[in-house]
Amino acid sequence: MWMEKLSNGKYAYRERYTDPYTEKIRKVSVTLTSCSNQAKNKAQKMLNEKIHHAVTKKHDMTFEQLYEKYKPIYKQNVRDSTYRHFESCYRVVTKWFDKESIMRNITSEYLQDCLDDFYYKKNYSFSYLFSLRAFLSNIFSYAKRIGVCDFNPINDVKLLEKQEEKIRKKQKDTKYLEDDELALILTEIRNRPKVPKKYRYAEILELMSLTGMRFGEAAALKNDDLDGNFLRIDESLYYNYGDLKNGDTNGTKNSSSLRTITLSNRSLEILHKWQLENQNYKILFPDEYKDMGFLFCDPHGTPIGISPVNNILRNICAKLKKEGKLDKQVTTHYFRHTHISKLAELGIPLKTIMDRVGHANPTTTLRIYTHVTKKMEEDLIEKLNEAEKER
């Protein structure tokens, strides 16, 4: 450090340093009114802080800056719906702490407190909590890769599920329908008053129970996907955030979801029926029908979204529970799992089931498969015991 007296009577304290990126010599300076030893010490401290800031400024990113930098990269590597969820997580997380927070200052302890507060005090679900942790892990992993953080603090954050939630999960019914439950719900939908698309709602759900498709996959089906009794599944309807009138679609959930399946006679009957219906719509409403090729659509060619279908299912389940006929909170996904349960009852190998329904991970398939086969074994024992009584 050296000092220079200025014409105004003040003192300029200067220091040289080497820029670690360019290896050029640069200078910093501060101006004080005194040249006392106390002033010199103060100047030295201020100069050191300036040098430190200059050397590290390329790494001192805020949470918002890092998010904006990572966002376009992430978008190119995931489906649109996944990217939308990523944006949603950012909006939630930035309610916890200031988006101007410096990344290297965010600690594991701070993140742990935030997530604990979110789960234990605000009572959000454990699954949503887990998705927020995954979002933060992605952000901090990227920060570490580009040198903004020395480590990923989320790695030391532990999520502990509430005991009551664990108990609820064990007691919760497996998410599929027995034959009589399936028939009951489909009949209720078909008989539902004041629902113009109720037959299509019932039949897209029935098709899911016959094929194991996800709702988005069934809703995205087009005429070209049907070839004889084979059905190609390679898209999913973008129904969560997009405008259905645009007919936006994504790719399937993962590479395992890209598949071609063989159709049963009833599946073909449903699809052929709606191919014919759509042709009729085009004739009846030539000026209003926008032909985007969707099999399940309204009289204007707009594909069916998931929200109204789930709304009807909620209302029907409430009615059936009140009548003592069914005590399940059925969603569209139950119909996909119903197909898995039916294949398990038929003794179809686990790998064949996974390939048909497009599961990359065996966890869900195995859970349903195990539950069904265990129930079949219990039924077998009951029948054997009854047979022994009759001897």
Residue with tokens 């997530």, as numbered in its chain: 115
Asked whether 236 and 249 are in contact (CB, 8 A), the reply is yes
Asked whether 303 and 243 are in contact (CB, 8 A), the reply is no
Phi, psi of 262 (to 5 degrees): -90, 140
Phi, psi of 301 (to 5 degrees): 90, 0
Phi, psi of 6 (to 5 degrees): -90, 165
Q: How far apart are CA 337 and CA 343, in angstroms?
A: 10
Classify burial at 216, counting beta carbons within 10 Å of its beta carbon; exposed 0-12, middle 13-18, buried 19 or more.
buried
Q: How far apart are CA 358 and CA 225, in angstroms?
A: 16
What is the per-residue DSSP string for 176-241? Answer: ---HHHHHHHHHHHHT-TT-TTHHHHHHHHHHHHHH---HHHHHT-BGGGEETTEEEE--EE--SS
Dihedral class, residue 195 (left if φ above 0, else alpha if ψ from -120 to 50, else beta): beta
List 102's β-bridge partners, or say none: 62
Q: Which residues have a catalytic role annotated? A: 214, 245, 333, 336, 359, 369
Helix ranges (DSSP H) in 262-360: 265-284, 306-322, 333-345, 350-357
Q: How many CB atoms lie within 10 A of CB 247?
A: 19
